Structure 1
């Protein structure tokens, strides 16, 4: 059986960057595990209904609420009538806390994910790798896509955990390690198309505001058109964090910057042997060659 392990920092990250990939491989019968490292306690909330749950709003209950959103999102990505994919939190729910953006006071919280260093989280992840024996692991690039400290921490622990797991007694060697990334031209094309339908209150990004990688760096493109609707529903499930446009082709976070929902999800293979290449000179299957 193909076994895929995806490591993400907060609830919603799994859907924004890899939701279609999760749905595609679940539908194909692969064993998929989504590991989320924090509850996303420091997230901003869209709208007034649940605004009081935020960390600095008195209740500090947002993390618990986002467990429900993640559960619903993973359910939306799961094929019917199979048992819906369930959340898996690194070290258990609440073990590590959302660190917030760089320089925020929450960086110094006793349970902040970045405050743990990489050693302990990497060991927990390595133990999970040995238990689950995934052939493919997906994490983030060195800047964590957009520079969030928790995303950078995920990048660090993925590399360390892969090495620890491979060297452990009765260990497991991950065959292929990927970073989930955004292709530069796909972002440009998606934004160009979106210019004609920017919802009221949203805005286009300024140049360089949304992160991407040059097309030549992309090694792998996974076509998600057959499960695109599942990704859209999963994005909508993260309602405190994400708003999906009426067209179902774009979304925005609390900053109201419009972003495309891609028909392909892009990756960089950083360890392992590439599989067969498609017409565009890229892999089309994370398990290609295995």
Structure 2
């Protein structure tokens, strides 16, 4: 099941994609793709619907972030060994957790804006995990019961702010527009193995990232368990699980960063694609 949110920024309506790829409105059925809608019983109710009986939305509608009212936007750093190597950093002995500001969240095809004064804005295709059931101190065996589904995320990053400006990573990760999410939330029942998904990212047609979730250091099951030891996860919280190699910072012989005017395209097998034009704040 593919769930999404359609319409102008801040006024999106919940929607579902039918078997033919048409967008069908869920307005009046659920308030949003958020909160209780993502509980197991909420998803079961949506699964019982006949999308063909729902109003069709225009095919050219803007697609917003696939999850609304996100409580926590949690990210995992250096979760692919080869990305850690290209960053000249060791593989962490435990998952690295940081938070991305909710004000960074945009739709999958909205413009990404380089912050004022930025010199090193970079890209990162990542698998997003959407929580569908409250999780606190869950075991690894229980962890997947708490996952509603998956989505594509571009963890846009300003490397100077992240690494060279003192303090935590958050200031280089949470700039406005640095969190494109979507196009769809694909429910967990349609993703039988989240650890076997190909993923890629291109800038102006040049493929920089070409990886797979197979090479994650810490998989989805462990991450949900691990994060829940430090904070309670609620339905609609999102965990972005790290990126494979090929980020601009790691390009040899010299890094490549976004300057403005480029087009980023990225996708994950079965979860759809994103396209963002790069502008300036």
Instruction: Please say whether Structure 1 and Structure 2 have the same fold, judged by a TM-score greater than 0.5.
Output: no
Higher helix share: 1
TM-score, normalization by structure 2: 0.25
Higher strand share: 2
